[in-house]
A and B are shown apart, each in its own frame.
Chain A
Amino acid sequence: MENIYEKKTRKGLIRAKVSVENNVINNIIIEGDFFIYPEDEIWEIEEYLKNTPVDENVLKNKIYEKMKNTEFVGSDISDFFEVIFKAARGVKDE
């Protein structure tokens, strides 16, 4: 089943669509009207997070490691972590 979570950041909306099976990420899509640079890191992180267990620390470490050199314009690495983690956990819009 695909879970969707989205967040409006200072500059742009981040939406994660995450499929989870047996508490492991099967597939993930990060979309929206945000700005990051280099842009193609989004597809790299989607690949990188496949087969990752839905564990707060594991996900946080992977996302922060992978995006440590990313330039965020109007959003923050914590926004991306929050959206991905909440989608993976199946959190509904608050």
Chain B
Amino acid sequence: MNKLRVVLFETPHDPYYSMAYEEAFTRVRSRDLTDDTLRIFRHRDSVIIGYFQYAEDEVNLEAAKNMNIMVTRRFTGGGAVFHDLGDINYAFAFKGKIGTVDSIYRIYVKGILKSLNYLGVNADVQNVNDIVVGNHKISGTAASMRWNTSFIHGAMLVKTDLNKLAGVLKVSKKKLEDKNISDVKYRVMNLSDILKREVDYSEIIHSLVKGFSDFLEREYYFDGPTKEELDVADLLYREKYSKNEWNLKRAPFSYFSSVEEKISEILER
């Protein structure tokens, strides 16, 4: 069993590039050029929408522009999330498929629960992939499988500006109605408010690394991005993640099929 590779590479000023790297490191893992990888990173004020979403339906684009909030899109399903430097993101890519996406949640969310445990937080999973403390959601996750590699990522609210979050995300009428009449009892909350103390970035990194490493029963090592990862990220940034078609217009992977051959060329050098 290979060791757990931990990468802290982040481009907080440029969420487009950061999301390009997200896809890149997963693709590079799929070619066995790296070990199973846990990435921990942050973004400046931005909204990351889900793969099936149109930006204009989920984001108040005018408000986002006025608040200098960038909008980009990830390759997993689920809803739009607001990121700022008070939100800490994690992504774990491991080679192989384990049957169903549901099983990725069932198994690997435990790594996050263990991490939170090291911070002194007893968290649970609700509604498949929401991580909650009591009635409060502190992290959402999204998983997928592509390129014979399994993937799960999420955002942990540590000290996020929840007012900005509310100001920029649109909530559909159906969801609001649902919240009034059904069992959605939990709301988002920052970890620092739950712990009633400041929580710094290094503390979160330490707990995530230890949590995943212990859960996986694997030793870990820190690493920087590889040349292949950066080359693929550069390409994806240029041709996909800096484009409105990807970020705003819900274009699928097939729309960007011209990158596939170029990625193969990079990875087969």
By a beta-carbon cutoff of 8 Å, the part of chain A in contact with chain B is 6-8, 10-13, 15, 29-40, 42-43, 71, 73-74, 93
Given known A13-B174, A37-B101, A93-B174, contact A32–B128 (CB-CB < 8 A):
no
Evaluate contact between B78 and A93: CB separation under 8 angstroms: no
Q: A12-B77, A34-B52, A35-B129 given. 9 additional CB < 8 A pairs?
A: A11-B127, A12-B78, A32-B52, A33-B53, A33-B80, A35-B142, A37-B145, A73-B129, A93-B173
Q: Which residues of A contact B207 (CB under 8 A)?
A: none
Given known A37-B101, A73-B101, A73-B102, contact A13–B128 (CB-CB < 8 A):
no
Main secondary structure of the interface of B (DSSP, over half): loop
Q: Which residues of A contact B177 (CB under 8 A)?
A: 8
B101 nearest in chain A by CB position: A37
Main secondary structure of the interface of A (DSSP, over half): strand
A8 to B182, CA, bound (A): 11
Given known A15-B57, A33-B77, A40-B252, contact A6–B174 (CB-CB < 8 A):
yes
Tell me the total A-B contact number using a CB cutoff of 8 A. Answer: 80
Evaluate contact between B173 and A39: CB separation under 8 angstroms: no
Evaluate contact between A40 and B253: CB separation under 8 angstroms: yes
A11 to B52, CA, bound (A): 14
Q: Which 5 A-B residue pairings sit nearest by Cβ, starting from the closest?
A: A33-B79, A35-B77, A8-B178, A37-B101, A43-B252
Contact check: which of B79, B80, B100, B172 meets A71 at CB < 8 Å?
Answer: B100
A39 to B79, CA, bound (A): 14
Q: Say how far A10's CB is from chain B's closest CB, in angstroms.
A: 7
Evaluate contact between B250 and A8: CB separation under 8 angstroms: no
A6 to B127, CA, bound (A): 20
A7 to B145, CA, bound (A): 26
B50 nearest in chain A by CB position: A33
